[in-house]
Amino acid sequence: MSETLELASKLIACNSVTPNDVGCQDLLEQELKEVGFKCRTLREGMYPTFNLLALHSVDPKANFEGDPTILKNNPGPYDASGFVAPGPFTIFLGHTDVVPAKESDWNSDPFSPTIKDGVLYGRGAADMKGSDAAMTIALKNFVKKHPNYKGTIGLLMTSNEEGDAVGGIPFVAEWLKKERLYPDFCIVGEPSSSKTFGDIIKIGRRGSMTAHITINGKQGHVAYPEQIDNACHKGAQLIAALLEKPLDNGNEDFPPTSFNVTNFNSGVGAENVAPGTCQIMCNWRFSPLQTPVKLQRRLEKTMEELGIYATVRYVINGLPFISSKDGQLVTALKAAVEHHTKVTPDLNTLGGTSDGRFIAPLGTQVVEFGPINATIHKANECVNVEDLETLTKIYEEALEKLHL
């Protein structure tokens, strides 16, 4: 059994449903400490989320322990501890938590790693304990093979990616900012491949914004239409108006901005009562051609034109980001994927969000690359054992291209 497969299997055996880590990060820490990584667990208050940050450098300027004299020597607005991560600084980003599994839907115990016909089955095999293992073993191999590499390399893990991210990467990103530890490059091991292993590298993501709209009308008996102002009809009008015109046509890197109603709720349940309120929940996945405020203004203008009175609460889930196709990170990873898979990856920004969106605002180039995502969040989630070995080699080669 290879090191990557062995580690992936150990991780799958931990029942780490969000936001529990149940020892997964300890396993990764043990591996990395063997080759000299400095590890710390970052936690926000009493939240159950665990985050592991493991860093390594052979540069004598590196300081991952902090410097108690720093505040005395550098009084300033920052409450930094004196960490120094010489560049180039590459971080692998992953998560140890998984979505729940209903055992009766599975052919094997979802938390007992099972290998059958060259395929590893278990909850998290593809999303993303297989990648967690590949990233860790790649870092280990790289350090062992290249004792004089340049810069800083590291691993960042959270146990709250599948949940609300509270105490997770948003908290770590703030901590990194405070400590002025800004990664240049971030490789997220999320399962990006679609049909064939290696076919997609995600080089950015769309933004996501949700609106919770409550429309106010006037409730009344349907037999007296002149006395009512049907909130449900207003909601329908609003949705029709918002769907009418496309927001943009996207650009070379991003598909057009999409709008979707995710919930529509109105009425008291009686056959003869016209509803006085209507609740709509909707979401935009937007390209950099939009901003949250631009989308909000459009919604508000549409309501004004229709004479709709409503209260709206917005939730901005993430802003769009993109890493240049000609940038060092995309170039390095693409070449490594082509070398090991003989597949030319499509570079795109499709799909859902990931924790990469919290790291990109640090000025970091962020990409996502990992195994085939066909079985993620499903029963009998699995990953090809061979792909995990190749993935380890790809990550290792990307490090070589960026740090030698």
Residue 131 C-beta: closest distance to Zn ion, Å: 8
CB under 8 Å to 294, separation ≥6 — which residues? none
| CB distance 130 to 123 below 8 Å | no
Which string of x and - marks every residue 276-315 that binds Zn ion (by CB under 5 A)?
----------------------------------------
Nearest Cα to Cα of residue 252 among 358, 170, 324, 172 = 324
182: number of Cβ within 10 Å = 14
CB 64, min distance to Zn ion, A: 27
Q: How far is the CB of 84 from Zn ion (least distance, A)?
A: 31
- Centre a 10 Å sphere on the Cβ of residue 389 and count the other Cβ atoms it contains: 17
Cβ atoms within 10 Å of 161's Cβ, excluding its own:
25
CA distance linking residue 101 with residue 99, whole number of Å: 7
Q: For Zn ion, what does the binding mask look like between residues 178 and 197, x meaning CB under 5 A?
A: ------------x-------
Candidate list 21, 31, 132, 161, residue with the active-site label:
161
Contact between 24 and Zn ion per CB under 5 A: no
Among 27, 39, 128, 169, indicate the residue that binds Zn ion (CB under 5 A).
Answer: 128
- Is the CB of 250 or the CB of 371 nearer to Zn ion? 371
Q: How far apart are CA 155 and CA 28, in angstroms?
A: 9
* Spatial separation of the C-alpha atoms in residues 151 and 145, rounded to whole Å: 15
Decide if residue 127 touches Zn ion (CB under 5 A).
yes
Of the residues 97, 368, 387, 396, only one is catalytic, namely 97
Q: Annotated catalytic, 26?
A: no
Q: Which is nearer to Zn ion, 173 or 238 (CB)?
A: 173
| 97 is known as an active-site residue | yes
Size of the site for Zn ion (CB under 5 A): 3
What secondary structure letter does DSSP report for 129?
A: I
Report how far residue 362's alpha carbon sits from residue 365's, in angstroms, rounded to the nearest whole number: 9
Closest residue to bound Zn ion by CB: 127
Binding site for Zn ion (CB under 5 A): 127-128, 190
The residues annotated with a catalytic role in the active site are 97, 161
